[in-house]
Chain A
Amino acid sequence: MKNNIDRRQFMRLAGMGGVVFASGLSGFNPARALGGTTGSDGSAQGSDFFFVQLSDTHWGFSGPAINPDAQGTLRKAIAEVNALSDQPDFVVFTGDLTQTTDDPSERRRRLAEFKEIVKDLRVKTVRYMPGEHDAALDRGAAYKEFFGQTHYTFDYEGVHFIVLDNVSDPAAALGDEQLTWLAQDLSQQDRLQRIVVFTHRPLFDLAPTWDWATRDGARAIDLLMPFPHVTVFYGHIHQEHHHLTGHIAHHAAKGLMFALPAPLSVPKKAPLPWDAAAPYKGLGFREIEQDGHSNPITELPISATRTALL
């Protein structure tokens, strides 16, 4: 509850013109204008850039009442990204690439098809991570055959990106081993390092009765807490959502197959039905800018008129 004031302030900012000023709360850094040099606060500064987050594409899902264009939505989203006049520096998919299946060979078929379809992105740097639909039934074995490690880091233009896997363990935990790895990675970072975390489930307890939580997520947040410039982007809940744990902002993305209701707004979580009057409503993707220490977000819809022809 102690976050109430911060959160209200934050939501007011979030309401402005569809653009969210995210970790802008951690302070505007005038040194960013220098680009590629050392900031006035001593942190390494890269040049500004932006990336695109897509999430929860659930390739293989079928349910005409929920998404009658289950075969086309992912392709449309890719066409939307390809049509952006400025192309992003990279694209990240934050999990649930495929719809879960109990059949391991069908799982591989879906992962292969997904991989084939996203080859159409004009942007060639694409980062992946699994969701529980991709990885929880075989601890990520099939996923790894197609996309490699389920947790890793990379650095780009002065920002340290950390991908956390809270889905390969069927118990929805990061696990001691990964938390030790995270602590080790963070121990090598400057306190003022700009850090962006990608993960699938929320790291905080958004709605544990809906499986919208990570069993040991609080331990990851504790490890990140000493760093003043951390922002988390995740998926899993199929809607835009913004939350602060202390100074760390957590931003959930919309999905690209079906939308889910607001946390605990209905007795039982279930996909929202397709609205024929507003096709693709509730689906979308986002651009995220890296602007000094802040990450302004622009939410983008899937337009019914965009053809998936590339």
Chain B
Amino acid sequence: MRRAKLIGATLLAIAAGGVGYAVAWAEAEPAHPLKVIKVSAKRFVFTPNTLTLKKGETVDIELSSEDVPMGFNVPDLASRADVLPGTTTHLRLTPQKVGTLVFLCDIFCGSGHEDMSGVITVVE
């Protein structure tokens, strides 16, 4: 069951084509477990919509949608993942520069879609 789910997640990540790898996170737990940040999406907001990450530190963004299919895209990290209702998607991010990064929903989800975005602040 677990295995089937992982394969599904792998296919999803490949289909998404981004640097976002939702793979192997459960199989090979790193020595220091990754910090997990939950982000949930619903028309037309991300909660939370501001994230603070540390430069050079990998975090696992756990994504879920409360209603319709969404996307979570951080163009400046070339990372994205589909965010589907009824399941969670994991996207690992490792920002390498201090500053602010925009993330946005990149699956057109309705009349407020264009305002559906957030900011990642990357600190030392």
Using a CB–CB cutoff of 8 Å, the interface residues on chain A facing chain B are: 100-102, 132, 136-137, 170-172, 208-209, 211, 213, 215, 268-269
Interface residues of B in 98-124 (CB under 8 A from A): 102, 104, 106-111, 113-114, 117
Cβ contacts under 8 Å, A215 to chain B? 106
A-B contact pairs, 21 of them (CB 8 A): A100-B110, A101-B111, A102-B110, A136-B108, A136-B113, A170-B107, A170-B108, A171-B71, A171-B107, A171-B108, A172-B106, A172-B108, A208-B73, A208-B75, A209-B75, A209-B102, A209-B104, A211-B104, A213-B75, A215-B106, A269-B114
| Prevailing SS type, chain A contact patch | loop
Q: Is B29 an interface residue (CB 8 A)?
A: no
Query: Beta-carbon contacts of B53-80 to A below 8 Å, as 1s and 0s?
Result: 0000000000000000101010110000
Chain B, interface size category, equals 10 to 19
How far is it, in angstroms, between the C-alpha of A269 and the C-alpha of B110 when the chains are bound?
Answer: 17
Q: Do A102 and B111 touch across chains, with their CB atoms under 8 A apart?
A: yes
Nearest chain A CB to B41 CB, angstrom units: 14
Cβ contacts under 8 Å, B106 to chain A? 171-172, 211, 215
How far is it, in angstroms, between the C-alpha of A49 and the C-alpha of B113 when the chains are bound?
Answer: 39
Cβ contacts under 8 Å, A172 to chain B? 106, 108
How far is it, in angstroms, between the C-alpha of A215 and the C-alpha of B82 when the chains are bound?
Answer: 13
Closest A residue by C-beta to B18: A215
Using a CB–CB cutoff of 8 Å, the interface residues on chain B facing chain A are: 69, 71, 73, 75-76, 102, 104, 106-111, 113-114, 117
Cβ contacts under 8 Å, B110 to chain A? 100, 102, 137
Nearest chain A CB to B113 CB, angstrom units: 8
Cβ contacts under 8 Å, B69 to chain A? 170
Closest A residue by C-beta to B71: A171
Cβ contacts under 8 Å, A137 to chain B? 108, 110
Cβ contacts under 8 Å, A100 to chain B? 110-111, 113
Nearest chain A CB to B22 CB, angstrom units: 17
Q: Do A211 and B114 touch across chains, with their CB atoms under 8 A apart?
A: yes
